[in-house]
Structure 1
Amino acid sequence: MINFVIESGDVIAGLALFFSIYATFKTVQFNNRQQKLINTQEKLNQLLANREASGVELEKQAELGASILKLGNNKYRLKIWNKGKAPAQDVSIEFPEGNEIISEREVNEKFPLQFSDTHQAVELIAVIGMSTKSKHLIKLEWSDGRVQRVEKPIWVTV
């Protein structure tokens, strides 16, 4: 018969082995969580860098808009403005479906507009009658900080 004697040194060695395995397991768990945190931080930094880059790109862009304003009894204006953060250069206007509200003389006097600064507007006298359509398509085209000219169709309503 084999006689096993467990001494206090054996118990201490067993406990040390158990705690060593437990500590190794917890260290691996901690390192995995730490790596996930590092990956998340890298993704957040990349998103912030992309957001900053797009913000800088927006700083270089003009954004033109248009609407028809009623000023009083039968007095209308077609207002074109720059609501972007950069100036627009060489602004042109077209009426793809025909122009029945703005005189050609008025358009030719003011367009092409060489420069439209931020929050600057141009008003064109509009002639609106009872038989005038309520919706008109206007195409604005301009240059700004982007590589190509910007083209924007806008539907304005009376």
Structure 2
Amino acid sequence: MKIAPVTVGDCIAALAFLLSLYAVISTSRFNNRQRKLIEGQERLNEVVFARESVEATKAKEADLGASFVKLGSNSYRLKVWNRGKATARRVRLEFPEGNECVMESDVEAKFPMELLEPQHSVELIAVVGLNTKRKHPMRLCWDDDSGDDHQKRVYPTL
């Protein structure tokens, strides 16, 4: 059996085949990297969307709290504040275990409060004696743009 001599055309054809094989492998690797990049971008978009959804929800919520503030040597106030991003409406203050330190007339005069704007507060006069308990459970109730009848139990201490 006789082997045919290798011609220049055969060499060019072999080089063209090797070059096309290299191009197919390179394109396949590039497509895999591109697919992974697109998947990563989609995951990032989902995270950003979730974060924006949470922020949009928080923008509609009021966040109320309460604490006692000492003024001078023997004077106290109960401070109720809104640190949320939305206005609290129809704010109510309830004392499930009884009210023994905040002046009832002050509570009746100020609550239910029609509006409590973000970053604003209201103060109530507190009467503190030697036999006054140190922890006073209370319930804050309010409505805001995210819904009605929100409740939060707080435990301000003297």
Task: Say yes or no: TM over 0.5.
Answer: yes
Task: Show structure 1 runs of 5+ residues with no match.
Answer: none
Task: Show structure 2 runs of 5+ residues with no match.
Answer: none
Letter in 1 for 2:139: K
1:124 deviation in Å?
A: 0.8
Structure 1 equivalent of residue 19 of structure 2: 19
- Provide the secondary structure at the position in 1 that maps to 2:153: strand
Distance 1:112 1:14 in 2: 89
Give the share of equivalent positions with the same residue, in percent.
Answer: 47
Distance 1:148 1:25 in 2: 61
Extract structure 1 runs of 4+ deviating beyond 3 A.
none
- Provide the secondary structure at the position in 1 that maps to 2:85: coil
Distance 2:55 2:43 in 1: 18
Q: CA 1:4–1:148 in structure 2 vs 1: closer, same or farther (change >3 Å)?
A: farther
Distance 2:107 2:92 in 1: 9
1:4 deviation in Å?
A: 4.0
Letter in 1 for 2:11: V
1:45 deviation in Å?
A: 2.1
Distance 1:56 1:17 in 2: 58
Write the deviation string for residues 24-43 of structure 1: whole angstroms up to 9, x where unpaired.
01101101111111122222
1:70 deviation in Å?
A: 0.4
Is residue 2:70 matched to residue 1:58? no
Q: CA RMSD in A?
A: 1.5
Aligned pairs for 1:1-158 (under 5 A) are 1-158=1-158
1:68 deviation in Å?
A: 0.1
Distance 2:157 2:22 in 1: 73
Letter in 1 for 2:103: S
Query: What count of residue pairs does the alignment treat as equivalent?
Result: 158
Higher alpha-carbon deviation: 57-66 or 83-92: 57-66
User: TM-score scaled to structure 2, two decimals?
Assistant: 0.91
- Provide the secondary structure at the position in 2 that maps to 1:149: strand
Higher alpha-carbon deviation: 70-79 or 47-56: 47-56
Higher alpha-carbon deviation: 146-155 or 24-33: 146-155
